[in-house]
Structure 1
C-alpha cells in the first residue's frame, strides 16, 4: 500500500498493472478497494461475458474466475479485448484518477492505447505533462528486489 499511497500523493493520473487475475495472489482489486474505502461490487455484465468467453472456447468454468468481476464501487470497467481480466478506472480524491490494467504485457499495451491514452487525450486536452518511468532489473530475483525496496 505504500507504493499506492506515494503514487496518489504525487500524481494526478495513476496507472498500475497486474494482480487482476483469479488466483489467491491477485490482490490488487482488494487492496485498491481497501485503500480508498470502497467496497467491492460484482459486475454482472462482466460476469456474464466472462462465462460466455470460457464456454465459447470450451474452457472449464471455475468459481474463482468470478474474482475478475469484482471492482471497487464507483469504478468504470476497462474492457480487455485479449484476455479474461478487465481493468478499471476509479476517480479518487481531489480529482485524481487511477487506472489499473492486467499485468500481461500484450493485454496491457492494447488497453493502455485504447482506453487510458484515449481518455487522457479526451479529458486532459493540451494540459499537463505525462511522466513515465520504466525499470529493467537484471541479475536479481524478485524476492531480493523486494527485500532491497
Structure 2
C-alpha cells in the first residue's frame, strides 16, 4: 500500500499539446505536471501545475491573456491559481545566466481537470490574440480576407 502511493506520486501526467494555430503559428506546450511547482512557496496544496511560455508569442496574444478580466475569468471557470512569472525578453533571445527566465504563466490546481480547463481557455485566448493580430495586419495591407 505504501509503495503504491509512492508510485502514484511519482507518476507524471504527460499532456503536451504543441500544435500550429489556425493561422500557422506554433503554440507553446501545455504540459501538465503532477506535484507542486518548484516556484511555489509556503503551504501550497496544489497537486498539478503547468508552465506556459508566453514571451515569444505575437504581442497581442500575451496581452489578451494577462488582462485582469481574462485572468479572473480563467481562474473562476477552472478553479486554478495563475501567476505571471519571469520577465519579457526579446523574441528569440535567451536569458543570461542568473537572469529571470522568459515570461510564462504558472497554472496550479487541485485536479488535473482544473489545470486542463485553464490550459484550454488560455490556448483559445492565444489563438484569438494571434488571429486578431493577423486580421489587423491584413486590414492595414488593404485585404479583408473576404
Q: TM-score, normalised by structure 1?
A: 0.31
| Structure whose alpha-carbon radius of gyration is higher | 2
Q: TM-score, normalised by structure 2?
A: 0.31
